[in-house]
Amino acid sequence: MNFIIPFIILITVVVFIHEYGHYYFARKYKVGVTDFSIGFGKEIFGFNDKNGTRWKFCLVPLGGYVKFFGDRNVFSQAEQAKILKKYNKEDQEKLFITKPLYQRALIVFGGPLANFLLAILIFSSIYMFVGKDFTQPKIDEITVNSPAEKAGLKKNDIIIAIDDNKVLSIREVSTFINTNSSESIDITVLRNNREITFKTETKLVETEDAFGNSIKKKIIGISIKPATDEINQKKLGPVSAIYYSIQEVWFVCKTTLSYVGSMLSGKADTSQLGGPIKIAKISGQVAEFGFLAFVTTIAYISISLGLINLFPIPLLDGGHLMFFLFEKILGRPLSQKTQEGFFRIGLFLLVSLMLFTTFNDINTW
């Protein structure tokens, strides 16, 4: 129960925001919405609003959907002429398929956009009311015969950049090392007022995270401490908070795409890839650390949901956008038969990924 309740709250928030993004643009462009569902399967409770939309919470809280008036799915514009005959002129104006291409694209993109905006809102609020860490990291100790020692790093070097990432906080050192997809990193330090860059190998070790979970972590063999022996946490103004929040969203997206690229090329460690079971476990563990840690996790999960939904896989928002791109290039939608073929491929990929992540979850539980 310690895992289930935080997990349901987390999933409900990120899914609701995602689906509301679709709903907002659908209503903006006067597309009829018949259902707004959190979860799948049997309805537990719900209500109808004045616009005729059924808002409901269903038994299996592992996703959600917004159902448009008259549409089986957003691919149905390929049968537009056939479908239009079933509706009078007033109802035709509420159909998704009758809207211009850019409006359909915005309705579909609205879900991932809402997820990114939620993350920006959460990060901005934290930076404004709690503060952002700007503690400069300094190397305190170097392990003998470690990659760092072999590369030439020394005690009291102040770390200012790792690869193309400027290091603003002591907390970012481990993050930048572990999100690097190659076997080596460029680490730039300040030594005697001179900037020097060293290329160092990374070493993968088995360790535990803050919750006691077994993880694989990249290290270079250093321990760090604040350069001034003090933690420097600053509360930011709205503009600065939004700026750094956008940077954080971009960093998460960039590193995720880099990881996916490494995974497809067979270079990434896929043992850490998790699914619903792992998210449930982590959400429960994080909730024990307090509200701030929990909402921060919501922000990161929201980014992941938004980005994954943009992958060009049928069944996902990115798959719909891919079909819209074909429609723009060809001047007409792909045939229903072609779209259904892509649909089957997408279903196979998603089911395979779900089974793989579930297998990983069970093995690491």
What's the full length of the chain, in residues? Answer: 365
Give catalytic residue positions: 19
* pLDDT at res. 275: 61
Domain with CATH 2.30.42.10 in the chain: 132-234
Output the CA torsion sign for 232, 167, 129, 11.
negative
Kindly tell me the burial class for residue 174, based on how many C-beta atoms sit within 10 Å of its own C-beta (0-12, 13-18, 19 or more).
middle
Q: Rounded to 5 degrees, what angle do the CA atoms 52, 58, 62 make?
A: 120
* pLDDT at res. 237: 96
> What CATH number does domain 132-234 carry, 3.40.50.11540, 2.40.10.10, 2.30.42.10, 2.40.30.10?
2.30.42.10
One digit per residue, pLDDT tens: the chain, 365 residues? 567 888 888 989 999 999 999 999 999 999 999 999 999 889 999 999 998 899 999 998 888 999 998 765 544 455 566 667 777 788 788 888 889 999 999 999 999 999 999 999 999 999 999 999 999 999 999 999 999 999 999 999 999 999 888 999 998 888 888 888 778 899 999 999 999 999 999 888 887 666 666 777 888 999 999 988 888 899 999 999 999 999 999 998 988 888 777 777 766 666 656 665 666 666 666 777 788 989 999 999 999 999 999 999 888 899 999 989 988 898 888 777 787 788 788 777 777 766 666 665 555 55
